[in-house]
A = this chain, B = another copy of it.
């Protein structure tokens, strides 16, 4: 059962998936989205395939192909392959991802100074991660410590994950927030209204280059121009030591009709922020600083898949 993120915040409706193919379709159509969340969903999809006696390699292939950019799909399917109790392992992956969020939230909250007014993009919240959130988890932890004053939320066109999902989560958490047009972020920075930028990630290459929702790169350039720290908050399941640099990360192009169905359009769903523009990457293990080749954790579990 998946909470259908396409229909939030207007309706809280669940989608029922009965096969790996149905889970893959839910990922493709973004009923569930967010790098850790689609990894978790893929793990459950694999477990469904195992319970139904489906061909597991074929099921893994369908799940892996559902979206290209987030490495968490490959990571979660790597974790599932060959396990004796797939349902238990999927539940374990889910619980571990939420626990990772809580740990990285504490590490990231250490980076915020009292009175912080943070900007975030897209939704790196509980919805994106199976619970709690990466960047939004950091905001939750910082708010609980009373160091976070306010959050600016990019609406995040075209699918409005910011104004539909992140604002919905922040409202439920009681964290003061303001939604803005994506194009307004630079002007708010120039006016001194943003003290920190925090985003999630869909894939972190070995050198620290990070793929995330389209618009993240522009925020990183703007943050650097204004001397504002720019933090990526992501679990180790999003690190991809097998991908050397951002240039090697596949970027999903989605249907142009998400932008306009009346005129020619292009709709890249992600962009790559070079490591040089990232102040720190925060995982559940701690805060990693440039040069990332040396500071990012070397993950034997990831490296061995």
**A155: CB under 8 A from chain B?**
yes
CB distance from A209 to the nearest CB of B (A): 12
User: Contact flags (1/0) for A252-268 with B, using CB distance below 8 Å?
Assistant: 00000001101111111
User: Contact flags (1/0) for A219-252 with B, using CB distance below 8 Å?
Assistant: 0011001000000000000000000000000000
A interface: dominant SS: mixed
A188 to B150, CA, bound (A): 31
Q: Which residues of B contact A272 (CB under 8 A)?
A: 187, 190
CB distance from A8 to the nearest CB of B (A): 10
Q: Which residues of B contact A131 (CB under 8 A)?
A: none
- On whether the beta carbons of A155 and B157 are closer than 8 Å, the reply is yes
- On whether the beta carbons of B156 and A183 are closer than 8 Å, the reply is yes
Q: Which residue of B lies closest to A271 (CB)?
A: B187
Please tell me the size bucket of the interface on A.
Answer: 35 or more
Q: Which residues of B contact A31 (CB under 8 A)?
A: none
Q: Which residue of B lies closest to A186 (CB)?
A: B218
Q: Which residues of B contact A153 (CB under 8 A)?
A: 263
Knowing A182-B182, A183-B182, A187-B271, say if A167 contacts B217 (CB, 8 Å).
Answer: no
Q: Which residues of B contact A163 (CB under 8 A)?
A: 259-260, 262-263, 265
A264 to B118, CA, bound (A): 15
Taking CB atoms and an 8 Å cut-off, the chain A residues in 137-172 that contact chain B are 153-158, 163, 167-168, 171
Q: Which residue of B lies closest to A263 (CB)?
A: B167
CB distance from A173 to the nearest CB of B (A): 13
Knowing A155-B157, A187-B217, A271-B187, say if A179 contacts B265 (CB, 8 Å).
Answer: yes
Q: Which residues of B contact A217 (CB under 8 A)?
A: 186-187, 190
**A215: CB under 8 A from chain B?**
yes
**A177: CB under 8 A from chain B?**
yes
A271 to B213, CA, bound (A): 24
**A76: CB under 8 A from chain B?**
no
Interface residues of A (CB under 8 A from B): 9, 121, 153-158, 163, 167-168, 171, 176-187, 190, 213-215, 217-218, 221-222, 225, 259-260, 262-268, 271-272
